[in-house]
Amino acid sequence: MGTNKKSILDLAKNRVVLFDGGMGSTIVSLGLPEGECPESWNLTHSEAIAKIHRKNLEAGADIIETNTFGANRLRLASFGYESRVEEINARAVQIAKKVCPEDRFVAGDVGPCGVFLKPVGKSSIDELEESFLEQAKALARAQVDLFSIETMYDLREAVAAIKAVRTVSDLPVFASMTFDKKSKGYLTMMGNTVSECAAELEKAGADVVGANCTLGSDGMIGLAEELRKGTDLPIIIQPNAGKPKLNEGKPFYSQDSESFAEDMKIIAEAGANFVGGCCGTTHEFTRAIHQRLFG
C-alpha cells in the first residue's frame, strides 16, 4: 500500500504543490438542483465530474480531489443515499483515476458529517468516527493516493476523521480546518486557534495541516503566516474566491482569478507547501496560480 506515499510529500520538499479548484461550487454552477446531493453526480453525471478533473489537470493541478466531500453515511442520509456509501466513493475515485496521469495524484476528499457534536448537537464522537471509517475504507479500497480531510469546523471531528483514516491506511493525510477572522484572531467556529488545531491534528496523525474555505485569498495571508509559525509540518492553504454574495438566494463568488493567484504567490512565499482553491474557484484559478508560481 502507498507507493506514492513518499513522492507527494517529497515533491513538496522541492516546490509548491498545486491542488485543484472547488468541486461543490463548480457542480452547483453546472446546474446541480437545490437540495440535490452533489455526490450523486458520481452516479448520474460521471462525465461532468471527469471534465472538471480534466480541466484542472490541464490547468496544471498536481492533485485532484474526488467528488466525495459529503460522501459519509451521516451526510448522505439526509439525501436518502445512506446505503450507497461504498458505491458513491468507489465511483468518485474511479472517475478521478481514469483521467489522472501517472505523475499526478488523486486525493480522497473527506468533509464534515454535517451534524453537531454534543452538547451543541446530538451526535457522539463515536458515531462520527464510524461514519468516517466507512468512507475511509471505501476510498482506500478504491486506491486513492492520499486523503484530504477539509473544511472541518470542529477540531474533535477533524481528529475523528484522521483517526478513521489512520485505522485503514498509511497513505499521506492532509487535514484542513476552516477559520474565520475574529477580533481575537483566526478561530474555528468552535473557538480553536490556529496553533491549537495544528498541534492536535499532528498528534492525531496528519502529515500536512492547513486551512480552507470561509475566507478569501487576502484573508488567508495572515492565517498562512500564523500557521507557518505554529507547526513544523508542511501546510496547505485553499481559500474561497472571496466572501460569498447572494444572487437570488444562491451564493456566488466574485473574486477574479488573477488577484487570487497574486495572493496565493504571497501565501506560498509565507511558507505554504500546498496551495489550491475552495468555493468559487475553478480550473481558471488553478491555471492562474500555476502561471503565477511556475511562469
The answer to whether the beta carbons of residues 289 and 59 sit under 8 Å apart is no
Q: Which is nearer to Zn ion, 39 or 134 (CB)?
A: 39
| Alpha-carbon span 289 to 277, nearest angstrom | 9
Q: Are 269 and 286 in contact (CB under 8 A)?
A: no
- Say if CB 36 and CB 79 are below 8 A apart: yes
CB of 243 to Zn ion, least distance (A): 11
φ and ψ at 81, to 5 degrees? -105, 20
Closer Cβ to Zn ion, 152 or 204, answer by number: 152
Cβ nearer to Zn ion, comparing 169 with 257: 257
CB closer to Zn ion, 140 vs 289: 289
Residue nearer to Zn ion on the CB measure, 76 or 213: 213
155/279 with CB nearer Zn ion: 279
CB of 240 to Zn ion, least distance (A): 5
Least Å distance between CB 25 and Zn ion?
Answer: 7
Grid cell digits, residue 86 = 461504498
Question: Which of residues 4 and 72 has its CB atom nearest to Zn ion in the complex?
Answer: 72
The CB-of-27 to Zn ion minimum distance in angstroms stands at: 12
Q: Which CB, 92 or 278, lies closer to Zn ion?
A: 278
- Partnered with residue 106 across adjacent β-strands are 64
Q: How far is the CB of 278 from Zn ion (least distance, A)?
A: 3
Provide, rounded to whole angstroms, the least separation between the CB of residue 197 and Zn ion: 17
Binding site residues, Zn ion, CB under 5 A: 213, 278-279
φ, ψ for residue 62 (rounded to 5)?
A: -80, -30
CB of 269 to Zn ion, least distance (A): 23
For residue 22, the minimal CB distance to Zn ion (Å) is: 6
Q: Are 256 and 242 in contact (CB under 8 A)?
A: no
Q: Work out the angle at residue 110's Cα, subtended by the Cα atoms of residues 76 and 275, and round it to the nearest 5 degrees.
A: 140
